[in-house]
């Protein structure tokens, strides 16, 4: 994918493509002009002897310390090295690529006072598939994602390691692969690289894209479950959704109707005596629709943040001003991530309830635990226990991170967002929910097959065919652990996106 970074923001669909695979960036002429004007303003400030935070002063609590002109380059290098204190496992290359592109987009808008040479170097790393190894932990989400972004900046200085072609190599060798040597940073450049919300935003945005994959699979699973228990599609009638009016509910109901249309199983019980199905079947439009609306809202917030300028201070060359503010505070990202966490937890919670329904012969009308010769075979009994454990873990992880704050930098930074943890924990929740939905998909497919020779709808039979490529029908007790892993991978790979691609925020167009 090729993108020219210039005057136009990058769309949510383009961010998804950047997350999914390599990208080639080019700086447009407008961007280059703005960068040059901004950097000239910093030169003017230094020449005039004016004291400006981060340009010729210390940082945080040390902001009142004036730094001499002969030490300004060392100031920026020391900032990067002293802030490279992250710990824990490295971020994925996908999230690092997102963050690097976001940093280029921010710097290219001409409010950061950096040289075009610096932004071009970042572009070369991105274009060459050279991704700094960034520890996942160590940021409180203000003043920006300082520690992780310092590790990103460190690569430009020749420090740390980088992932290239699936291998981690020393920074200097990684730079050489794209024709770069270790850089000496100019005034303000270290601060411009470290200040910003790009890490927390990339983690949260990646979580949106992963959540879309899971939500689509959950619709397939929910439709399969409804058909397997001989449930009614009447609750998905458009008229019911329209009188409430929520867009997500309307769209999810339409997707469920489309998935179930033409099912022989459904046609076989139009005149049955059952009055209403359990909520986990009947209220899918209301619950998953609300989750979809959350994803849409979060997608809008994060797309705006991904295109934003979030370092400090900011350079306004047109008005000859350098202003200190707080755009680095990641509260919008933290709140959005917490909101998304609720949605992810609910998708999993509803799926787990349908698994419990499917294995209960008194409610589902299917063989107990979805297996013949119950007693000799335990079937999906323990699979539901696994789903319950995962759903319960998600409930704890859904507790809002943004309500916490620990002051840092000797109380100079006295309120922080915790956005990085808020976003990072989403990926554990997504893993859990994908497993739950994978379990439900196999359980529901098993339920459908008990109705043979009657068939489900063409879309749902296609889903079952996909599942059977990696997991055979359950005829006698066996370990299902590997099967769940394989189906979860199908979900993460987006193999069921066609069940909902027209309503997902980054795919709907």
Q: What pLDDT score was predicted for residue 176?
A: 98
Q: How buried is residue 198: exposed, middle or buried, by Cβ count under 10 Å (0-12/13-18/19+)?
A: buried
CA distance 436 to 505: 23
DSSP H stretches of helix in 196-246: 198-228, 238-242
Cβ neighbourhood burial of 496 (10 Å; 0-12, 13-18, 19+): buried
Predicted pLDDT of residue 142: 87
Per-run averaged pLDDT (10 residues), the chain, 509 residues: 94 97 97 97 91 84 85 92 97 98 98 97 98 97 93 98 97 98 96 96 98 98 97 96 98 97 91 84 98 98 98 95 95 98 98 98 95 95 98 98 90 89 98 98 97 96 98 97 98 96 86
pLDDT for res 54:
83
Q: What is d(CA 435, CA 486) in angstroms, rounded to the nearest whole number?
A: 10
Contact residues for 239 (Cβ-Cβ < 8 A; gap 6+): none
Verify whether residue 131 is a known catalytic residue: no
DSSP state of 413: B
Eight-class DSSP state of 377 = B
- The phi, psi pair for 410, rounded to 5°, reads 55, 45
The answer to whether the CB of 215 falls within 8 A of the CB of 347 is yes
Element (H, E) at 130: strand 130-132
* DSSP annotation of 57: B
The residue from 53, 131, 435, 474 that is catalytic is 53
What is the phi/psi pair of residue 446, to 5°?
Answer: -60, -45
Distances (CA, A) of 160 to 63, 87, 168, 194, 438: 27, 13, 10, 15, 38
In angstroms, the CA 195 to CA 313 distance is 9
Q: What is the pTM of this model?
A: 0.96
């Amino acid at each position: 994918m090729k993108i020219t970074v210039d005057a136009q923001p990058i769309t949510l669909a383009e961010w998804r493509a950047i997350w999914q695979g390599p990208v080639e960036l080019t700086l447009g002429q407008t961007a280059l002009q703005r960068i040059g004007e901004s950097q000239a303003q910093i030169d003017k400030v230094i020449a005039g002897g004016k004291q400006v935070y981060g340009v010729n002063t210390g940082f945080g609590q040390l902001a009142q310390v004036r730094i001499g002109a002969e030490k300004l380059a060392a100031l920026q290098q020391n900032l990067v090295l002293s802030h490279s204190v992250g710990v824990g496992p490295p971020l994925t290359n996908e999230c690092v690529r997102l963050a690097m592109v976001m940093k280029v987009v921010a710097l290219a808008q001409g409010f950061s006072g950096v040289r075009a040479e610096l932004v071009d170097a970042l572009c070369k790393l991105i274009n060459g598939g050279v991704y700094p190894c960034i520890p996942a932990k160590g940021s409180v989400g203000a003043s920006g994602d300082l520690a992780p972004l310092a590790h990103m900046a460190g690569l430009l200085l020749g420090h740390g390691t980088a992932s290239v072609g699936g291998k981690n190599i020393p920074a200097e060798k990684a730079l050489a692969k794209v024709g770069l040597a270790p850089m000496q940073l100019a005034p303000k450049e270290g601060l411009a690289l470290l200040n910003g919300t790009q890490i927390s935003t990339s983690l949260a945005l990646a979580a949106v894209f992963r959540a879309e994959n899971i939500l689509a699979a959950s619709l397939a699973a929910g439709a399969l479950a409804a058909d397997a228990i001989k449930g009614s599609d009447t609750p998905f009638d458009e008229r019911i959704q329209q009188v409430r009016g929520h867009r997500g509910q309307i769209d999810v109901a339409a997707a469920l109707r489309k998935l179930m249309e033409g099912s022989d199983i459904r046609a076989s019980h139009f005149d049955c005596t059952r009055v209403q199905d359990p909520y986990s079947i009947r209220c899918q439009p209301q619950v998953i629709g609300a989750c979809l609306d959350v994803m849409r809202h979060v997608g809008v917030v994060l797309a705006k943040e991904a295109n934003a300028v979030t370092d400090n201070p900011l350079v306004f060359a047109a008005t000859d001003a350098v202003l200190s503010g707080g755009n680095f505070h990641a509260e919008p990202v933290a709140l959005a991530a917490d909101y998304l966490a609720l949605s992810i937890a609910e998708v999993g919670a509803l799926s787990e309830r349908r698994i419990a329904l499917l294995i209960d012969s008194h409610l589902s009308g299917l063989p107990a635990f979805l297996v013949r010769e119950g007693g000799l075979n335990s079937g999906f009994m323990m699979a539901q226990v696994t789903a319950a454990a995962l759903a319960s873990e998600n409930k704890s992880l859904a507790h809002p991170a943004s309500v916490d704050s620990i002051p840092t930098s000797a109380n100079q930074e006295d309120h922080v967002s915790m956005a990085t943890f808020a976003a990072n924990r989403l990926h554990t929740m997504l893993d859990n929910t994908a497993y739950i939905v994978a379990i439900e998909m196999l359980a529901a497919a098993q339920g459908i097959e008990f109705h043979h020779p009657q068939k489900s709808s063409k879309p749902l039979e296609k889903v079952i065919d996909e599942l059977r490529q990696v997991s055979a029908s359950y005829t006698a007790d066996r370990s299902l652990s590997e099967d769940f892993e394989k189906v979860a991978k199908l979900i993460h790979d987006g193999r069921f996106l066609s069940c909902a691609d027209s309503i997902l925020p980054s795919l709907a167009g």
